[in-house]
Homo-oligomer: A and B are copies of this chain.
Amino acid sequence: MKDMNSTIASNISEIAKLARKFNCFYLAGLHQGTCKPFLVGGHQVGLIRPDILKHLERFPECYVTLKVFRVTGKYVELNPAFRDYKERSSRIAAVLQSLKKEGEICALKGWRDECFEVSTPFYHESLMEMDRSAICLFGIRNYGVSINGYLFHPIKGLCIWLQQRSFTKQTWPGKWDCFVSGGLAVGYGIMETAIKEVAEEASVVGDLAKKLVPAGCVSFYFESERGLFPNTEYVYDLELPQDFKPENADGEVETFELLTAEECVQRALTTQFKTTSAPVLLDFLIRRGFINPENEPNYRHIIELLHVPLQTIYKWPQTDILTNGDGENLQR
């Protein structure tokens, strides 16, 4: 087996290896079957790893009258007695605050005081909210916006602005990242978030911000020690003037740098680049023809790994989409 693996390893391109890296959970962990579906209000909204479940299982004992989680052999369920958004959110928040105080879960050290929505997939009905730092503990789908700031340089051709993240950021400090990106927080729309983020992170406002063009989304499933990341990024392109210089307004950016497309690829392949931002950059370079079937032997493989079927993965109990009218498979 080892020989076979090394043969393959030497035959796949560096870009394909990167695409496999940001999909390490999709390609490996998912199939090991050690994670349990997490259900809220009858809908699968996440997956829970055994190391996290170990902590959560203690919580029924803390609540004398009402257990928080019901753990069966096949899934973990938020107590269905918590009937509405408010009650679910506060019960989960209490558990997370306890765990945060204990200090044993790495991800909770980066508590954000910013909540993400947990919702039913298709009708997008809100089920509850949860602090952003805890989303990865429950493998809850994470939505964000990412903006490709680019220009066509008369000599260098396609050039792309990258940002270096501030060294004080809770996640991926000091790493290189896309031009601008941000998570979809409770109460904000998608385009609204894109407009807010380009203003805060790069001082793009007014007529220039109106040039944002939605260009699709990328989906991938990453895993790190912190947890599970089934991420979908709504992608926007923004052609910037030659003389534009981004200026950070919120202290979250260390610096910006304008790179050629080739320099971007090389930067993305280093450990200095935020792994979970590489999908947006690769998608942009593919859509603009810089990475293409003639120069990338694993072209189809990479494109498949930029669009992994997250909605198909999160549909426990498994039901046939057409015959059983499984609304979960018709996500917004």
Contacts and interface: CB of A to CB of B under 8 A. Distances in A.
Interface string A300-320: 110110111111100000001
B214 A293 contact: yes
Given A122-B11, A215-B286, A217-B299, A304 B312 contact: yes
Given A214-B289, A294-B190, A300 B8 contact: no
B216 A322 contact: no
A317 to B, nearest CB: 14
A214 B289 CA distance: 5
Contacts of A28: 320-323
Interface stretch (A60-68, A75-83, A324-332): A324-332
Report the 7 A-B pairs with minimum CB-CB distance, sorted nearest first: A307-B307, A4-B325, A214-B292, A5-B325, A213-B289, A190-B293, A214-B289
Interface in A169-189: 189
B311 A300 contact: yes
B122 A217 contact: no
A236 to B, nearest CB: 8
A126 to B, nearest CB: 15
A128 B232 CA distance: 39
A156 interface: no
B213 A321 contact: no
A230 to B, nearest CB: 12
A204 to B, nearest CB: 17
Given A191-B292, A213-B288, 13 more contacts: A7-B325, A8-B325, A11-B122, A16-B330, A190-B294, A191-B293, A214-B292, A216-B287, A219-B300, A219-B303, A298-B331, A301-B329, A309-B309
Contacts of A8: 122, 325, 327, 330
A298 B123 contact: no
A27 B321 contact: yes
17 contacts: A5-B322, A7-B325, A8-B327, A11-B122, A28-B321, A28-B322, A190-B294, A191-B292, A191-B293, A214-B294, A215-B286, A215-B287, A217-B303, A219-B304, A298-B331, A300-B311, A301-B311
Interface residues of A, number: 56
A251 interface: no
A297 interface: yes
A189 to B, nearest CB: 8
Interface in A10-32: 11-12, 16, 27-28, 31
A324 B217 CA distance: 31
A234 interface: yes
Contacts of A27: 321-322, 329
Contacts of A191: 292-294
A301 B214 contact: no
Contacts of A214: 286, 289, 292-294
A322 B4 CA distance: 11
B307 A303 contact: yes
A1 interface: yes
A304 to B, nearest CB: 6
Nearest to A215: B287
